[in-house]
Amino acid sequence: MMERAEPQLSSSLGRITISTGAIGQIVSQTASRCYGVVEIGGGARAKVGRLLPRSRGVHGISVSGDGDSVSLDLHVVVEHGLNLAEVAATIRSQVQYEVERLTGLRVAAVDVHILDVRQSA
Protein backbone atom coordinates (compact mmCIF):
# COMPACT_ATOMS: atom_id res chain seq x y z
CA MET A 1 0.00 0.00 0.00
CA MET A 2 1.41 3.41 -0.95
CA GLU A 3 1.46 6.13 1.64
CA ARG A 4 0.41 9.60 0.63
CA ALA A 5 2.94 12.38 0.65
CA GLU A 6 3.08 14.83 3.55
CA PRO A 7 1.01 17.98 2.91
CA GLN A 8 3.05 20.78 1.38
CA LEU A 9 2.92 24.35 0.16
CA SER A 10 5.00 25.42 -2.83
CA SER A 11 6.11 28.85 -3.96
CA SER A 12 8.77 30.28 -6.26
CA LEU A 13 11.20 30.24 -3.32
CA GLY A 14 10.74 26.56 -2.48
CA ARG A 15 8.54 24.09 -0.69
CA ILE A 16 7.24 23.83 2.88
CA THR A 17 6.34 20.36 4.11
CA ILE A 18 4.18 20.05 7.24
CA SER A 19 4.18 16.71 9.04
CA THR A 20 0.89 15.00 9.72
CA GLY A 21 2.00 14.80 13.36
CA ALA A 22 2.21 18.59 13.58
CA ILE A 23 -1.24 18.92 12.01
CA GLY A 24 -2.55 16.27 14.42
CA GLN A 25 -1.30 18.34 17.37
CA ILE A 26 -3.18 21.40 16.06
CA VAL A 27 -6.34 19.29 15.65
CA SER A 28 -5.98 17.79 19.13
CA GLN A 29 -5.44 21.09 20.91
CA THR A 30 -8.24 22.82 19.00
CA ALA A 31 -10.79 20.04 19.50
CA SER A 32 -9.99 19.68 23.20
CA ARG A 33 -10.86 23.37 23.70
CA CYS A 34 -14.30 22.96 22.07
CA TYR A 35 -17.31 23.09 24.37
CA GLY A 36 -18.63 19.62 25.20
CA VAL A 37 -15.50 17.61 24.38
CA VAL A 38 -14.59 15.39 27.33
CA GLU A 39 -11.81 13.39 25.65
CA ILE A 40 -10.07 12.90 22.31
CA GLY A 41 -9.73 9.24 21.32
CA GLY A 42 -10.86 7.13 24.21
CA GLY A 43 -11.03 3.40 24.73
CA ALA A 44 -10.05 0.38 22.66
CA ARG A 45 -11.70 1.61 19.46
CA ALA A 46 -9.31 4.55 19.25
CA LYS A 47 -6.31 2.24 19.66
CA VAL A 48 -7.39 0.33 16.55
CA GLY A 49 -7.24 3.59 14.60
CA ARG A 50 -3.58 4.00 15.57
CA LEU A 51 -2.75 0.84 13.58
CA LEU A 52 -4.08 2.21 10.31
CA PRO A 53 -1.47 3.48 7.82
CA ARG A 54 -2.85 7.03 7.70
CA SER A 55 -2.97 7.43 11.46
CA ARG A 56 0.10 9.23 12.78
CA GLY A 57 1.18 11.08 15.84
CA VAL A 58 -1.89 11.78 17.93
CA HIS A 59 -4.22 9.28 19.64
CA GLY A 60 -7.73 9.36 18.12
CA ILE A 61 -6.80 11.60 15.18
CA SER A 62 -5.96 10.62 11.60
CA VAL A 63 -4.47 13.07 9.10
CA SER A 64 -4.10 12.30 5.41
CA GLY A 65 -2.54 14.74 2.99
CA ASP A 66 -2.96 15.18 -0.73
CA GLY A 67 -0.76 17.98 -2.07
CA ASP A 68 -1.90 21.25 -0.53
CA SER A 69 -4.97 19.82 1.23
CA VAL A 70 -5.65 17.57 4.20
CA SER A 71 -8.47 15.33 5.35
CA LEU A 72 -8.99 14.85 9.07
CA ASP A 73 -10.67 12.13 11.12
CA LEU A 74 -11.11 12.60 14.84
CA HIS A 75 -12.70 10.46 17.51
CA VAL A 76 -14.13 12.20 20.56
CA VAL A 77 -16.10 11.61 23.74
CA VAL A 78 -18.79 14.24 24.32
CA GLU A 79 -20.35 15.46 27.56
CA HIS A 80 -23.72 13.90 28.41
CA GLY A 81 -26.78 16.08 27.92
CA LEU A 82 -25.49 18.17 25.02
CA ASN A 83 -26.76 18.19 21.44
CA LEU A 84 -24.30 15.86 19.69
CA ALA A 85 -24.83 17.36 16.24
CA GLU A 86 -24.09 20.88 17.53
CA VAL A 87 -20.93 19.76 19.36
CA ALA A 88 -19.70 17.93 16.23
CA ALA A 89 -20.46 20.95 14.02
CA THR A 90 -18.52 23.22 16.38
CA ILE A 91 -15.56 20.84 16.41
CA ARG A 92 -15.60 20.62 12.61
CA SER A 93 -15.77 24.39 12.18
CA GLN A 94 -13.09 25.24 14.75
CA VAL A 95 -10.67 22.54 13.57
CA GLN A 96 -11.02 23.57 9.92
CA TYR A 97 -10.48 27.25 10.77
CA GLU A 98 -7.40 26.67 12.96
CA VAL A 99 -5.69 24.18 10.64
CA GLU A 100 -6.18 26.49 7.64
CA ARG A 101 -5.10 29.57 9.63
CA LEU A 102 -1.99 28.00 11.15
CA THR A 103 -0.76 25.92 8.20
CA GLY A 104 -2.05 27.59 5.05
CA LEU A 105 -3.31 24.21 3.88
CA ARG A 106 -6.84 23.68 2.60
CA VAL A 107 -8.95 21.34 4.75
CA ALA A 108 -10.87 19.04 2.39
CA ALA A 109 -12.81 17.20 5.12
CA VAL A 110 -13.21 16.99 8.89
CA ASP A 111 -14.97 13.80 9.95
CA VAL A 112 -16.00 13.75 13.62
CA HIS A 113 -16.77 10.37 15.18
CA ILE A 114 -18.50 10.47 18.58
CA LEU A 115 -17.32 7.34 20.40
CA ASP A 116 -19.13 7.84 23.69
CA VAL A 117 -21.16 10.22 25.81
CA ARG A 118 -20.37 10.69 29.51
CA GLN A 119 -20.28 13.12 32.37
CA SER A 120 -17.28 15.45 32.42
CA ALA A 121 -14.90 15.19 35.36
pLDDT at res. 5: 63
Element (H, E) at 95: helix 84-103
Task: Summarize the confidence of residues 73-78 as an average pLDDT.
Answer: 96
Comparison of pLDDT for 73 and 5, the residue scoring more: 73
pLDDT at res. 59: 85
**Amino acid present at 67:** G
Q: With 50 as the cut, is the pLDDT of residue 37 above it?
A: yes
pLDDT 10s digits, 82-94 = 999 999 999 999 9
Residue 99 · residue 58 · CB < 8 Å: no
How is domain 20-118 classified at the CATH fold level?
Alpha-Beta Plaits (3.30.70)
Q: With 80 as the cut, is the pLDDT of residue 114 above it?
A: yes
- pTM comes to 0.81
